[in-house]
């Protein structure tokens, strides 16, 4: 096979890569340098005006970004802890193991938007069953969606409920693939369950844990549907996340050029921060 033939085989893959990955990114960069909006619907060139606006005059984007960081880190930590606990539970020989494995996966299989509508109904402050239940127990109604602080935790509850099964699934797959020998050795040495977990299970699970956490962080950082349906970013801007803010700028206010600037900046920040997080997690969790 000569050199040219190799290219013939490479072209389809390259073409697809350029079409679905490179072109949209280049187009977004070009769009971010334009002032495309409802009253100037054209790909004009305005240089880095949008970037200057973002870095000097748009605190709302940065607030939404830090809020997103808080929400995604908190939800992923909770999902990891709960998901690991559930995976450990059904990894053992327990009764109805198969039943529990299926049940734990159900939230992930439901449609996020529909489930969020149901959660919103649950948390409805005057008509929802959660406050009714609390009143029955003599607890004052909680402002699940109207208090700026509590609303953030309501979003976290829904996200954790919806996506913990994903973490559970990955971690359970990891547990099932672990070699038996280190556990046998630990048992022979008379290690307690706690020491077995700390010195055997957890270190062995570290690579898959890092993978699961990074995958979930990538997904959690795009949180949009839950916020859109549950709170619309409110009260005020208390639950507004970056993706929701970009949606508002792009498809509500039709500032396409500026929304592209936000999207591209967000992409760059995410690539950098997730790379750093992955490095830090590797350093912390994997001992040479």
Q: Does 224 bind other proteins (CB under 8 A)?
A: no
Q: Is 245 exposed, middle or buried (0-12, 13-18, 19+ CB in 10 A)?
A: buried
Residue reference for tokens 């939404």: 64
Q: Does 148 bind other proteins (CB under 8 A)?
A: yes
Number of Cβ within 10 Å of residue 95's Cβ equals 6
Give the nearest distance from C-beta 177 to other proteins in angstroms: 44
How many residues line the site for other proteins (CB under 8 A)?
Answer: 31
User: Do residues 186 and 101 touch, judged by C-beta distance below 8 A?
Assistant: no
List of E strands, the chain: none
The pair of three-digit structure tokens given for residue 229, joined into one six-digit string: 């349906």
Q: Does 152 bind other proteins (CB under 8 A)?
A: no
List the one residue from 233, 241, 243, 261 that touches other proteins (CB under 8 A).
233
Give the nearest distance from C-beta 159 to other proteins in angstroms: 18
The whole-angstrom separation of Cα 52 and Cα 49 is 5
The pair of three-digit structure tokens given for residue 19, joined into one six-digit string: 């079409």
List the one residue from 12, 109, 236, 288 that touches other proteins (CB under 8 A).
236
Residue reference for tokens 């797959």: 173
Q: Does 126 bind other proteins (CB under 8 A)?
A: yes
User: Do residues 277 and 214 touch, judged by C-beta distance below 8 A?
Assistant: yes
The pair of three-digit structure tokens given for residue 104, joined into one six-digit string: 């734990």
Q: Does 57 bind other proteins (CB under 8 A)?
A: yes
Please state whether the peptide bond connecting residue 53 to the residue before it is cis, i.e. omega within 30 degrees of 0. no
Give the nearest distance from C-beta 155 to other proteins in angstroms: 13
Each residue 248-277 as x (binds other proteins by CB under 8 A) or -, in order, gives x--xxxxx----------------------
CB nearer other proteins, residue 2 or residue 56: 56
Contacts of other proteins in 175-214 (CB under 8 A) = none
List the one residue from 205, 238, 246, 259 that touches other proteins (CB under 8 A).
238
How many H-runs (helices) and E-runs (strands) does the chain carry?
A: 14, 0
CB nearer other proteins, residue 159 or residue 240: 240
Give contact residues for other proteins (rule: CB under 8 A): 35, 37-39, 41, 57, 60, 124-126, 131, 141, 143-146, 148, 231-238, 248, 251-255
């Amino acid at each position: 096979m000569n050199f040219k033939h190799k290219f013939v085989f490479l072209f389809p893959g390259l073409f697809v890569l350029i079409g679905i990955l490179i072109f949209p990114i280049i187009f977004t960069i070009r769009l971010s340098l334009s002032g495309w909006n409802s009253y100037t619907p054209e790909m004009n060139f305005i240089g880095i005006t949008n970037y200057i606006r973002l870095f000097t005059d748009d605190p709302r984007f940065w607030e939404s970004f830090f809020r997103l960081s808080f929400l995604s880190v908190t939800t992923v930590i909770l999902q990891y802890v709960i998901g690991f606990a559930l995976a450990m539970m059904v990894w053992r020989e327990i009764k109805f193991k198969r039943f529990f494995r299926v049940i734990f996966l159900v939230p992930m299989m439901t449609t996020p938007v529909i489930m969020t509508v149901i959660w919103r109904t649950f948390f409805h402050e005057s008509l929802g069953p959660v406050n009714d239940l609390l009143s029955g127990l003599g607890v004052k109604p909680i402002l699940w969606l109207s208090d700026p602080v509590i609303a953030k935790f309501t979003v976290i509850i829904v996200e954790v409920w919806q996506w913990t099964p994903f973490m559970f699934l990955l971690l359970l797959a990891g547990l099932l693939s672990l070699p038996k020998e280190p556990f046998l050795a630990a048992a022979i040495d008379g290690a307690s369950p706690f020491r077995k977990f700390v010195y055997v299970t957890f270190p062995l699970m570290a690579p898959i844990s890092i993978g699961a956490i990074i995958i979930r962080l990538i997904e959690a950082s795009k949180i949009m549907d839950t916020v859109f349906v549950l709170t619309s970013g409110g009260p005020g801007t208390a639950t507004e996340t970056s993706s929701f803010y970009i949606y508002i700028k792009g498809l509500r206010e039709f500032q396409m050029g500026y929304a592209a600037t936000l999207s591209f900046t967000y992409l760059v920040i995410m690539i950098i921060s997730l790379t750093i997080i992955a490095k830090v997690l590797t350093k912390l969790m994997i001992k040479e």
